[in-house]
Structure 1
Amino acid sequence: MKARYNIAPTQPIAAVRANENSGNRELAIFSWGLVPFWAKEPSIAHQLLNARSETAAVKPAFRGPMRHHRCLIPADGFYEWKAIGGQKQPYYIRRPDHEPFYFAGLFDHWGSPDGSEIESATILTTAANDFMTPIHKRMPVIIPESQYDRWLDPKVQQPAKLADLLRPAPEDFFIRKPVTPLVNSVRNDMPECIMPTVEPPSPPNQLGFGF
């Protein structure tokens, strides 16, 4: 599979899920942005790129997938932006050892009257830890390796039994580096997107929060 450096909404993403028949893990390709099975139009995906873990068990778009359609979305980094002097500085966030990790994901299957089908996924988020707070108030949920089986287990259908997994990553799990603004354009999908750069200084009295 070709390496990606700047995946945009509705583009394909890889994910691991449990096979509905055997229960074995399998790799699947989803469109990023959930299209619930009951949606009238697939354009709803742009509104459902992420799912708040605190309410996913009760929201109409996510409560079914939380029970039956959970997945693990692999990555070796992600971007977040911080407002500095009226501009947004992108940061590349990864593990210190460069190893991959897995976002907590949900997926669904949508079919239109004309017969077309879409398998799509969303990433669960939670409140930011202290590491992430200077950049953003939210962060993706990371499932630890020891809990992969529990997260994917189709027999676990009560979200309350998974609530302990929907928490921020440990404070030392990630590091961040400011990167070039190449990532600000979805047309750029190249290794240069994660090239470190010098962080611009914050203006006086600026807190520097992304939102």
Structure 2
Amino acid sequence: MCGRFALTATPEELLELFGLLNVDDFPPRFNVAPTQPILIVVASERAEPGSNLPDRKAMLVRWGLTPGWVKDPRTFPLLINARAETATGKAAFRAAMRHRRILVPASGFYEWHRPPKGSGKASQAYWVRPKKGGIVAFAGLMETWSSADGSEVDTAAILTTGASKAIQHVHDRMPVVIQPEDFARWLDCRTQEPREVADLMVPAQEDLFEAVPVSDKVNKVANTGRDLQEEITPIPATKVRVDDGDSRQMSLF
């Protein structure tokens, strides 16, 4: 599962990894939560004239996918994640898997290790980051929801898969990570059907991530500082509740 992540990349880093030219000075965000705007990368109709960069562009969308056929989003669960193993067959994700695959740039994500009920132990937050630093690209899906008055909202979900051994001690799920050499194939919804990119939706390489214990300050959406990622020594405490910022949050996990 992925319920929080961070993106602290500079426009130069985004240009280097994704070939994006249309990203303004994007402020660092250390605690991205559901319903908030997130930066995504999509295939563009065409490259800039005279450019040798990939045909890609950046967009801001709401994190929490709403299928186009939903009549009232207020009565529909907020889909922040889509299970990679079943997304192609789910009504909520089927069309997006075929026509609107995206990349979600991230500097890492947060996950919680939750002890068994009745154990008396507290949940422990972890900052899961690339061992070598930098940014990664999560696999995602996009849908545009249109209201009766004609207004539109672009929305997205992050695909998840089984966790790599490096973070299984924290959680048994993790975001799908797409490698740079596979960006074009993942984003190519014209010629690449879901079955032809299924091999990309697998756990990340074992040496890609490391899980660092952090304080429970990340539980609150209002906390957005760099200190959220400072490593701590886990201390037993009472159980905490993660403030997801939306009581309707739900994932197909």
Give the TM-score taking structure 2 as reference length.
0.75
Question: 1:113 maps to which residue?
Answer: 148
Residue 133 of structure 1 pairs with residue 162 of structure 2: no
Contact residue 109 and residue 119 of structure 1 kept, 8 A: yes
1-structure distance, mates of 2:100, 2:75: 18
Q: 1:159 aligns with which of 194, 210, 224?
A: 194
Contact residue 10 and residue 46 of structure 1 kept, 8 A: no
Question: 2:78 maps to which residue?
Answer: 47
Q: Which amino acid aligns with 1:109?
A: T
Give deviations 1:165-208, integer Å, cap 9, x for gaps: 01000111101111111101011111111111112369xxxxxx
Give the stretch that moved more between structures: 152-161 or 99-108: 152-161
Question: 1:66 maps to which residue?
Answer: 97
Question: 1:37 maps to which residue?
Answer: 68
Q: Residue 197 and residue 162 in structure 1: after superposition, are their counterparts in 2 closer, same or farther (change >3 A)? A: same
Give the TM-score taking structure 1 as reference length.
0.90
Question: 2:224 maps to which residue?
Answer: 189
1-structure distance, mates of 2:144, 2:121: 40
Question: 2:88 maps to which residue?
Answer: 57
- 1:157 CA displacement: 4.3
Q: 2:185 aligns with which of 150, 155, 175?
A: 150
Give deviations 1:25-73, integer Å, cap 9, x for gaps: 0001110010111111224675310000011111011110101101000
> Identity of aligned pairs, percent?
44
> Following TM superposition, where does structure 1 have runs of at least 4 consecutive aligned residues deviating by more than 4 angstroms?
none
- 1:154 CA displacement: 2.5
Contact residue 33 and residue 45 of structure 1 kept, 8 A: no
Gaps of 5+ in 1: 203-211
- Let me know the Cα RMSD of the aligned residues: 1.7
Residue 22 of structure 1 pairs with residue 42 of structure 2: no
1-structure distance, mates of 2:233, 2:150: 50
Contact residue 10 and residue 45 of structure 1 kept, 8 A: no
Question: 2:128 maps to which residue?
Answer: 93
Secondary structure (helix, strand or coil) at the match of 2:228 reads helix
Q: Which amino acid aligns with 1:52?
A: R
Matches within 5 A, 1:195-206: 195-200=230-235
Q: Which amino acid aligns with 1:99?
A: G
Give the stretch that moved more between structures: 117-126 or 79-88: 79-88
Secondary structure (helix, strand or coil) at the match of 2:141 reads strand
1-structure distance, mates of 2:109, 2:74: 24
What count of residue pairs does the alignment treat as equivalent?
A: 201
2-structure distance, mates of 1:45, 1:52: 18
Gaps of 5+ in 2: 1-25, 48-54, 238-253
1-structure distance, mates of 2:108, 2:159: 16
2-structure distance, mates of 1:141, 1:197: 27
Q: Which amino acid aligns with 2:43?
A: A
